[in-house]
C-alpha cells in the first residue's frame, strides 16, 4: 500500500460528516487533511490544495460551489449530498472531464444492489404491475422524496425502458419522523399478487463505510463519471 490519500471532508458537522469522522480509523488508506462546514467557506480552496480526495455531504445549495472548487484544485470528489437541482447536471458532466467524480444518492452496498434488483423486476414484470415507492426518514431530513427513493424510481423507469416500454409514472409515499435512518420499499402491485423489494438502514455507519470505501477507490481513478456499482465491479 502506498501513502494514504489525504481527505477533505465537506459538511463535517452534519450527521454523515460526524459518522465519516468516527469511522476513518477503519480506513488507513485515507488520512484526514481538513474539514469544512455545511456551506462553502473561504478557506475551502486552501484546504483542497494538495488534497487527494474530497467527500461532500453538505447541502444542495452549496454543491455547485463545492464542485467548482474541486475542479479548480483538480481534486477527486465523491458527492453524497441529496436533493441536487437538475440544473447542476451540465456542471457535473463538465467536471467529470477534469476530475474523478462519483455522485451517489446512497452509499450503502445493499441499496446499490437493490437498485439493480428493482431495474430487473421492472423489466421482467408486465405493465399490468403498478410500481410505487414508499420511504421514511428522520424528522430533520429536508429533501422529499429522498435521493435514494428517486434513484429507485429511475432504476424502475430504466428497467421498463430496457424492455421497450416507457412513460412510467411512479407515485411516492413520504414519511418523516423520529430518528429513522432510512427505509425504502418498492412495490410491484399486480392482479392478485404483490412483489416488494426493500431496504432498512438501522445505523448510519453503513453509508459512511460505503462512502469511505468508495472515496479511497475513486481517488485512484482517472477523470470520469463513476457510480457506486463501479466500485463493486458492476458496469
Kindly list the catalytic residues.
137, 141
Beta-carbon count within 10 A of 25 CB = 8
Pairing of strands 100-103, 224-226: parallel
The H or E element containing residue 94 is: helix 89-95
Q: For residue 62, give the nearest of 34, 42, 90 by alpha carbon.
A: 42
Residue count of the chain, please give it. 235
Contacts of 2 (CB under 8 A, 6+ apart): none
224: its cell numbers: 470520469
**Ramachandran angles phi, psi of 27, nearest 5°:** -125, 80
| Residues facing residue 36 across a β-bridge | 10
Amino acid at each position: 500500500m502506498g501513502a494514504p490519500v489525504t481527505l477533505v471532508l465537506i459538511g463535517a458537522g452534519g450527521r454523515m460528516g460526524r459518522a465519516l469522522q468516527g469511522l476513518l480509523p477503519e480506513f488507513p488508506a485515507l488520512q484526514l487533511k481538513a474539514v469544512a462546514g455545511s456551506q462553502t467557506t473561504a478557506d475551502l480552496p486552501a484546504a483542497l490544495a494538495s488534497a487527494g480526495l474530497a467527500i461532500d455531504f453538505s447541502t444542495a445549495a452549496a454543491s455547485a460551489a463545492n464542485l467548482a472548487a474541486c475542479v479548480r484544485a483538480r481534486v477527486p470528489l465523491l458527492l453524497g449530498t441529496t436533493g441536487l437541482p437538475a440544473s447542476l447536471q451540465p456542471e457535473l458532466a463538465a467536471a467529470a472531464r477534469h476530475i474523478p467524480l462519483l455522485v451517489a444518492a446512497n452509499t450503502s452496498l445493499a441499496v446499490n444492489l437493490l437498485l439493480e434488483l428493482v431495474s430487473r423486476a421492472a423489466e421482467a414484470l408486465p405493465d399490468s404491475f403498478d410500481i410505487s415507492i414508499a420511504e421514511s426518514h428522520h424528522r430533520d431530513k429536508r429533501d422529499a422524496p429522498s435521493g435514494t427513493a428517486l434513484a429507485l424510481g429511475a432504476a424502475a423507469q430504466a428497467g421498463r425502458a430496457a424492455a421497450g416500454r416507457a412513460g412510467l409514472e411512479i407515485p411516492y409515499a413520504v414519511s418523516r419522523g423520529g430518528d429513522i435512518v432510512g427505509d425504502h420499499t418498492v412495490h410491484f402491485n399486480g392482479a392478485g399478487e404483490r412483489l416488494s423489494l426493500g431496504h432498512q438502514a438501522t445505523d448510519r455507519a453503513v453509508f459512511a463505510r460505503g462512502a469511505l470505501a468508495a472515496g479511497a477507490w475513486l481517488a485512484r481513478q482517472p477523470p470520469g463519471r463513476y457510480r457506486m456499482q463501479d466500485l463493486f465491479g458492476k458496469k
